[in-house]
Copies of this chain bind each other. A is one copy, B any other.
């Protein structure tokens, strides 16, 4: 590989001059031309590591996510990579599986300038301790106490929208079934939005937490829960809101197998707005998060922190109702 020295020799200038044209500092036109000529003849490219050692930047951002099995995360990664590339940054991907140990290495790397910044969706409480004020970190969905910019969507409003939809389609008895970590602030907002709005609108609402990881039996448990509730109270649940699409999909399958008609007997609303194979129709009616816009904002904010520009500490993007065939049309507008 050609080095800056080779270029300098070939162009008949000093390495300092070559470095300047490399970094867009002004040099005499004649020299710039000679250098550019030499660069292209030698097919020279700067060695990022040598540069990074001095310059303290590497044009690399790490994205920390639990996994890519969840299509929401896969799509987010897809768009974050595109945005970073547009800004001439590379993306290193860290799938933490929720383990803080794995994340830790990236925090260290950031502190060491081996990566310029981090975009992270992390459920770990421990992370907070490691996050200093000047750490170039943007958090997805989770609002830290520290001065860490956070990009999220309007989870509370997501719950509100779901509750209102049930109300406007004539429901009196609804349910909320959640899953996943309780620490994740954003999901808790969905809970609150739905529960509070249901109460305000005078709907009866039961809710249930099905633990960290929904399994194959979760849909059965939900079915059984509904049966017992009906037997005990003589009340029929007319609308169910889920904290995620996967739980909603599993439940829809189960209920249909049991002969329950959807949406006639019971309406279903999921969360995320995922589509079949990530580009077909929706799986279920859902609250759609603006994934691409979230990705764009994450990159925007991390760039600001990296360049020491003032960042927006909290970005809350709007969500919307997405009709997916498991809900009835609304009676009144809005």
Contact = CB atoms under 8 A, between A and B. Distances in A.
A279 B73 CA distance: 14
Given A53-B53, A92-B93, A108-B45, A70 B280 contact: no
Given A53-B53, A274-B277, A283-B277, A1 B249 contact: no
Interface string A69-110: 111001101100110010000111111000000100000110
Contacts of A111: 1
Nearest to A79: B68
Contact of A102 (B1, B75, B85, B91): B85
A50 B48 contact: no
A53 B47 contact: yes
Q: Which of A49, A108, A279 neighbours the largest number of chain B CB atoms within 10 Å of its CB?
A: A49
Nearest to A62: B90
A158 B95 CA distance: 31
Interface in A242-287: 245-246, 249-250, 253, 274, 276-281, 283
A249 B69 contact: no
A298 to B, nearest CB: 15
Nearest to A72: B277
**Copies of this chain, whole number:** 2
A67 interface: yes
A69 B277 CA distance: 8
Interface residues of A, number: 48
A60 interface: yes
A50 B85 CA distance: 25
Contacts of A67: 78
A75 B85 contact: no
Contact of A93 (B47, B77, B245): B77
A111 B43 CA distance: 11
A264 to B, nearest CB: 19
A83 to B, nearest CB: 11
Interface string A33-67: 00000000000010111101100001010000001
B95 A93 contact: no
Contact of A52 (B49, B95, B253): B49
Contact of A75 (B49, B52, B68, B280): B68
9 contacts: A45-B112, A47-B114, A67-B78, A68-B68, A70-B277, A77-B93, A91-B92, A249-B277, A276-B283
Interface of A: 1, 45, 47-50, 52-53, 58, 60, 67-71, 74-75, 77-78, 81-82, 85, 90-95, 102, 108-109, 111-114, 245-246, 249-250, 253, 274, 276-281, 283
A-B CB proximity, top 4 nearest? A74-B74, A68-B78, A49-B52, A49-B49
Given A85-B95, A92-B92, 20 more contacts: A45-B112, A49-B53, A49-B58, A49-B113, A50-B53, A67-B78, A68-B75, A68-B77, A69-B279, A70-B277, A71-B278, A77-B93, A78-B95, A81-B93, A90-B94, A246-B277, A249-B276, A250-B280, A253-B281, A277-B283
